[in-house]
């Protein structure tokens, strides 16, 4: 009788990194850099509106595209792989 499971040799195959994970990690790095800049200027970060920090982080990210490369490397180290089964799996839409 045929076995319907995948062979063990396919477990270590290529898995794409989630683009959303890379974008989130890049935004977090930009946000952290903006907060460090504010602290170095003597500003209490807790008193700055989150929307203002987010806007400054977006500008910072646009001027530092290398954060995306660093975020991709970090995502690879963390094992943030795209989960393809969620796109095709009919039960995933119900959750």
Domain ranges of the chain: 17-80
How many angstroms from the chain centroid is the CA of residue 56? Answer: 19
Split the chain (95 residues) into runs of 10 and give each run's mean pLDDT: 50 64 92 97 96 96 94 83 56 49
- The pLDDT score that the predictor gives to residue 10 is 47
**Residue whose tokens read 């001027």:** 63
- The pLDDT score that the predictor gives to residue 95 is 46
pTM above 0.85, yes or no: no
Phi, psi of 41 (to 5 degrees): -85, 0
């Amino acid at each position: 009788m045929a076995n319907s499971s995948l062979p063990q040799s396919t477990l270590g195959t290529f898995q794409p990194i989630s683009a959303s994970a890379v974008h989130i990690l890049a935004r977090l790095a930009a946000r952290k850099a903006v907060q460090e800049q504010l602290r170095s200027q003597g500003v209490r970060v807790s008193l700055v509106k989150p929307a203002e920090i987010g806007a400054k982080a977006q500008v910072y990210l646009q001027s530092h595209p290398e954060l995306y490369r660093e975020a991709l490397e970090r995502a690879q180290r963390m094992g943030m792989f795209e989960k393809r089964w969620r796109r095709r799996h009919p039960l995933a839409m119900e959750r």
